[in-house]
């Protein structure tokens, strides 16, 4: 597990921003490889990836304690980390804590957002109940998932028939609602208006990490379907298909 030392210019900015809770902030850092990593920011100076800490702990307080412990113990490079060694952050976006979680607070000054006006930004903002904001859980025994795509040569499926990290799918139960490619476009609020009529079947091993959520309305679609994100992807030989379903 690696920690990220936040550059001094960003540190001074973070020090003037509100905490998420006592002693820490939560944000997303873009590291130099271009990857976005969500993590805890401790003392405005150290960034620890949430996924690194979550592998070991399930509740937030324990995760914070562990992250603090990591700081005291120093980086441990013997475990796989979401942050490659020698990386640096060039942008950090802070997450705002949901107002309804601030019990007992009389006045809350809303944070001023950067002036995004594009429709895409509204779609992104609407995704607050979506899978990427959900806690990381694990797959059950023999749990099956489906993925709908317009492309037969889906680039998220590796040559050895696994999924790359960060790939979306849905549960087999939810996929029963999808009879056509356009059903998938509506149910999972997809921006690509061509039918997502290529259906892949994913059979990950038990305890594969994932996030589960509900597709929020976006791109003129209703959403409402279950969506999951395979945080670390899936191993080789876990993806079958695609099967072609009717377009409409």
Partner 1 sequence: MENVKLGEKWRLKLTQMPESGMGYQLVDVLLADGRKLTALIVFNGEECQTETAFDPNEIADLWLHQPPARRISPETI
Residues 170-209 that bind partner 1 (CB under 8 A): 170, 184, 188-192, 196
The mark string for 126-165 relative to partner 1 (x by CB under 8 A, - otherwise) is: -x--x----------------xxxxx-xxxx-------xx
**H or E, element range at 71:** helix 60-73
Residue 132 Cβ vs partner 1, minimum distance, rounded to whole Å: 8
Which class for 3: exposed (0-12), middle (13-18), buried (19 or more C-beta within 10 A)?
Answer: buried
Contact assessment for residue 209 and residue 138, using Cβ atoms and an 8 Å cutoff: yes
Residues 6 or more apart in contact with residue 150 via CB below 8 angstroms: 181, 192, 194, 195, 196, 197, 198
Among 184, 209, 202, smallest CA distance to 239 is for: 202
The span from the CA of 145 to the CA of 143, in Å, is 7
| Nearer CB in complex with partner 1: 66/139 | 139
C-alpha distance from residue 234 to each of 34, 192, 202, 239 (Å): 22, 24, 8, 8
| Nearer CB in complex with partner 1: 48/175 | 175
Among 131, 42, 43, 51, smallest CA distance to 83 is for: 51
Part of the chain binding partner 1 (CB under 8 A), chosen from 8-16, 63-71, 174-182, 235-243 = 8-16
Part of the chain binding partner 1 (CB under 8 A), chosen from 64-72, 101-109, 118-126, 239-247 = 118-126
Interaction between residue 101 and partner 1 (CB under 8 A): no
| Nearer CB in complex with partner 1: 107/115 | 115
Rounded to the nearest 5 degrees, what angle is found at the Cα of 185, between the Cα atoms of 184 and 186? 90
Among 5, 79, 102, 116, binds partner 1 (CB under 8 A): 116
| Nearer CB in complex with partner 1: 54/196 | 196
Interaction between residue 97 and partner 1 (CB under 8 A): no
Contact assessment for residue 228 and residue 169, using Cβ atoms and an 8 Å cutoff: yes
Residues that bind partner 1 (CB under 8 A): 9-10, 13-14, 17, 27-28, 30, 33-36, 90-96, 111-114, 116, 118, 120-121, 124-125, 127, 130, 147-151, 153-156, 164-170, 184, 188-192, 196, 215, 218, 227, 229
């Amino acid at each position: 597990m690696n920690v990220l030392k936040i550059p001094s210019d960003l540190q001074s900015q973070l020090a003037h921003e509100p905490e998420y809770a006592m002693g820490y902030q939560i944000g997303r850092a873009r590291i130099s490889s271009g990857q976005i990593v969500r993590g805890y920011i401790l003392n405005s100076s150290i960034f620890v990836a949430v996924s690194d800490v979550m592998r070991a702990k399930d509740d937030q307080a324990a995760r914070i304690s562990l992250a603090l412990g990591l700081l005291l113990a120093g980086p441990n490079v013997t475990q796989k980390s979401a942050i490659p060694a020698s990386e640096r952050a060039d942008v950090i976006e802070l997450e705002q804590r949901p107002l309804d979680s601030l019990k007992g607070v009389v006045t809350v000054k809303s944070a001023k957002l950067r002036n995004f006006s594009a429709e895409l930004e509204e779609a992104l903002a609407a995704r607050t109940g979506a899978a990427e904001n959900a806690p990381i859980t694990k797959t059950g025994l023999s749990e099956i998932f489906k993925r709908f795509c317009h492309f037969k040569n889906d680039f998220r499926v590796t040559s050895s028939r696994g999924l790359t990290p960060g790939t979306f799918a849905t549960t087999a139960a939810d996929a029963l609602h999808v009879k056509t490619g356009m059903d998938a476009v509506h149910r999972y609020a997809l921006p690509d208006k061509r039918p997502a009529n290529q259906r892949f079947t994913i059979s990950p091993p038990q305890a594969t990490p994932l996030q589960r959520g509900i597709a929020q309305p976006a791109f003129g679609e209703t959403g409402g379907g279950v969506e999951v994100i395979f945080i670390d992807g899936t191993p080789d030989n876990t993806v079958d298909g695609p099967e072609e379903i009717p377009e409409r």
